Amino acid sequence: MATITVFTEFSANGQLKKSAIELLTAARGSGNKIHAIALGSGAGQLAAQLGQHGVDEAFLGDHAAFDQYNPEVFTAAVAQILEANKPAIVLASSSLLGRDLFPRVAARLKTGIASDCTELSIQGDTLTVRRPMYAGKCTAAADMSKSPIKIALMRANQLPTGAPAGSKNVQVHTVAAPSLELKTLVKQVVKGASEKLDLTEANIIVSGGRGMRDADSFKLLHDLAEVLGATVGASRAVVDAGWVPHGMQVGQTGKTVAPTLYIACGISGAIQHLAGMSGSKVIVAINKDANAPIFQKATYGIVGDVFEVLPVLTAEFKKLLH
């Protein structure tokens, strides 16, 4: 039986993120032994949750050194755990943290890594993944059989989430802070005040482009998002114009998303934007230009003025949902 190690990210309220549960579900379905790594304030309280998702052993770092993400500290801690336990496969989310951390870990371990994956197959200790290439125009299968430890970073919302299956007694290992002479020190991370889900984990996204005209018009998107329980996103043109912060950007140079429903408002469909949202299950495009490229990707298209269509949509959804 092989061992799969899952790097599990969790929220500030001590709950496993949906992306972490997706990875644990995939690991559990393989029938292999499952290890989990969780680092940060509150990690020590995750054992029960991890046991419900099939974890056999958990490496929990609930230490002040892990309160803020520092690549030197996290890389040393994760690499040390993997070197000591030598799992066949490592799964992590292709989040901002995962994409920064695991290439460093892979370099430290001299092993292969596949990032931004959208599909994975685990058979024993064999891992095969698929990832998009050329801005999503095609996908490539990667056979990682030659890597001593196979590391895959999965996009959120690509895998099913299984319900908790009982309560396994997890063997807990406490992760101590690595003894390092740090080159950098993270003093503070300023987080946004929004209580909405991050774009990468949101199930519904309402996104706006240059067709929204100005920053004040984004209120129409927030009104619709409030009714749907959605998160608001934006195109690069809008971010570059300074209408919204970069954290809201969807696209190749922003966040890659795969919600169940993506509503694109006044977005023409530039290739870099399509690359970031083409994995959405249902895409609704609203644009007054019937020839906009976004309609080629859309499941449903509305040719019309967003300033006329959005208030009507918001009102109708209110009737249906409230």
- CATH code for the domain of 60: 3.40.50.620
The answer on 169 and 30 residing in a single domain is yes
Q: Is residue 287 part of a domain?
A: yes
The answer on 143 and 43 residing in a single domain is yes
| Burial class (CB within 10 angstroms; exposed 0-12, middle 13-18, buried 19+) of 54 | buried
Q: Does the pLDDT value for residue 39 go beyond 70?
A: yes
Helix/strand/coil percent split, the chain, to 5: 35, 25, 40
Q: What is the pLDDT of residue 56?
A: 95
Q: Structural domain of residue 160, as residue ranges?
A: 3-174
Q: Is residue 194 part of a domain?
A: no
The answer on 153 and 208 residing in a single domain is no
The answer on 212 and 114 residing in a single domain is no
| Sole residue written with tokens 């993270």 | 186
The percentage of residues in the chain with a pLDDT greater than 90, rounded to a whole number, is 76
Query: Where does the pLDDT of residue 95 fall: very low under 50, low under 70, confident under 90, or very high at 90 and above?
Result: very high
> Left if phi > 0, otherwise alpha if psi is -120 to 50, otherwise beta: which for 110?
left
Our count of domains for the chain comes to 2
Q: What is the pLDDT of residue 129?
A: 94
- Average of per-residue pLDDT across 189-215: 85
The answer on 151 and 15 residing in a single domain is yes
Q: What is the pLDDT of residues 220-241, one digit of tens each?
A: 999 999 999 999 999 999 999 9
The answer on 227 and 91 residing in a single domain is no
The answer on 281 and 240 residing in a single domain is yes
Q: What is the pLDDT of residue 192?
A: 61
The answer on 282 and 215 residing in a single domain is yes
The answer on 264 and 167 residing in a single domain is no
Q: Does the pLDDT value for residue 115 go beyond 70?
A: yes
Cα–Cα nearest to 28, from 60, 59, 6: 6
Sequence letter at residue 289: D
List all residues 6 or more positions away from 25 whose beta carbon is below 8 Å from its beta carbon: 53, 159, 160, 161, 162
The percentage of residues in the chain with a pLDDT greater than 70, rounded to a whole number, is 98
Q: What is the pLDDT of residues 129-148, one digit of tens each?
A: 999 888 777 889 988 888 89
Q: What is the pLDDT of residue 191?
A: 66
Q: Is residue 275 part of a domain?
A: yes
Q: What is the pLDDT of residue 84?
A: 95
The answer on 109 and 23 residing in a single domain is yes
Q: What is the pLDDT of residues 257-303, one digit of tens each?
A: 999 999 999 999 999 999 999 889 999 999 999 999 999 999 999 99
Q: What is the pLDDT of residue 194?
A: 59
Q: Does the pLDDT value for residue 195 go beyond 70?
A: no
The answer on 240 and 111 residing in a single domain is no
Q: What is the pLDDT of residue 144?
A: 84
The mean-pLDDT minimum among 28-42, 110-124, 175-189 falls in 175-189
The answer on 227 and 159 residing in a single domain is no
For residue 180, give the DSSP letter. -
Q: Is 234:248 a contact under the CB 8 Å cutoff?
A: yes
List all residues 6 or more positions away from 267 whose beta carbon is below 8 Å from its beta carbon: 207, 208, 209, 210, 211, 235, 273, 285, 287, 292, 294
For residue 214, give the DSSP letter. S
Q: Does the pLDDT value for residue 58 go beyond 70?
A: yes
Query: Where does the pLDDT of residue 164 fall: very low under 50, low under 70, confident under 90, or very high at 90 and above?
Result: confident
List all residues 6 or more positions away from 27 whose beta carbon is below 8 Å from its beta carbon: 4, 6, 34, 54, 89, 91, 122
Distance of CA 296 to the CA centre of its chain: 25
Q: Is residue 312 part of a domain?
A: yes
At 71 the three-state DSSP class reads helix
Distances, alpha carbon 250 to alpha carbons 27, 163, 211, 234, 238, in Å: 29, 29, 16, 6, 10
At 82 the three-state DSSP class reads helix
